[in-house]
Amino acid sequence: MTCTSVTVSQADPRLDGRAVDRVLFDERTIARRVAELGTEITGAYPEGDLLVLGLLKGSFIFLSDLVRQVRRPLQVDFIVASSYGDATASSGTVNLAYDPETRLEGKNILLVEDIIDTGRTINRLMGLLAARKPRSLEICALLDKKLENELRHTVRFLGFECPNEFVVGYGLDHAENFRHVPYIVSLK
């Protein structure tokens, strides 16, 4: 689960001329790992209701690819929490903008996050979700910067470890841009 470096396509018009340091995870590498995660998740939930809860907006592409690789019944819902605004450093304040309408009680909840940085977003959400008495509550994150962060929970399903750089693409943004870039790059 380490990073692979491949040559960046500086000509990609999706990046709008933005200086890219390097591609960290290309499309094939991501697809392969997402398929593996789907298999892991399928095997981890032999029974019971599974609700895959995507944290918007960053998880939207990852989640849509991931759920198609899970071979068991499931439901999908979304929540919104923001901590960054337009900055590239975490403000530490987490705002929960939307609550899932679906009942969580008695269900297996899989919270899907794009990237874990300070861990504050996940800490706050896990507290809020645990209070709804789910049967189980686990985290699936595409990327983890594995900092000496404040995360108080285990990431049960992890895509890749990510270097401590600001990354965009595959759902991740900078000031709402670059979410549609189909691979993950580090910005200069």
Query: Is 21 within 8 Å of 185 (Cβ atoms)?
Result: yes
Among 79, 139, 172, 185, binds ligand IMP (CB under 6 A): 172
User: Coil, strand, or helix at residue 37?
Assistant: helix
Contacting range for ligand IMP; rule: CB under 6 A; set: 35-43, 131-139, 152-160, 166-174: 166-174
Tell the smallest beta-carbon distance from residue 136 to Mg ion (Å): 27
Alpha helices in 68-131 (DSSP H): 120-130
What span, in angstroms and rounded, lies between the C-alpha atoms of 152 and 118?
Answer: 11
Strand partners, 52: 76, 110
Residues 74-103 that bind ligand IMP (CB under 6 A): 83-84, 90
Interface positions with Mg ion (CB under 5 A): 84, 173
**Exposed, middle or buried: residue 134 (CB in 10 Å: 0-12, 13-18, 19+)?**
buried
Q: Is 117 a catalytic site residue?
A: yes
Task: Fill in the DSSP letter of residue 35.
Answer: H
Among 45, 60, 78, 166, binds ligand IMP (CB under 6 A): 166
Task: Fill in the DSSP letter of residue 97.
Answer: E
Tell the smallest beta-carbon distance from residue 96 to Mg ion (Å): 15
Contacting range for ligand IMP; rule: CB under 6 A; set: 10-18, 45-53, 66-74, 117-125: 117-125
Enumerate the active-site residues: 117
Residue ranges in contact with ligand IMP by CB under 6 A: 58, 83-84, 90, 113-121, 166-168, 172
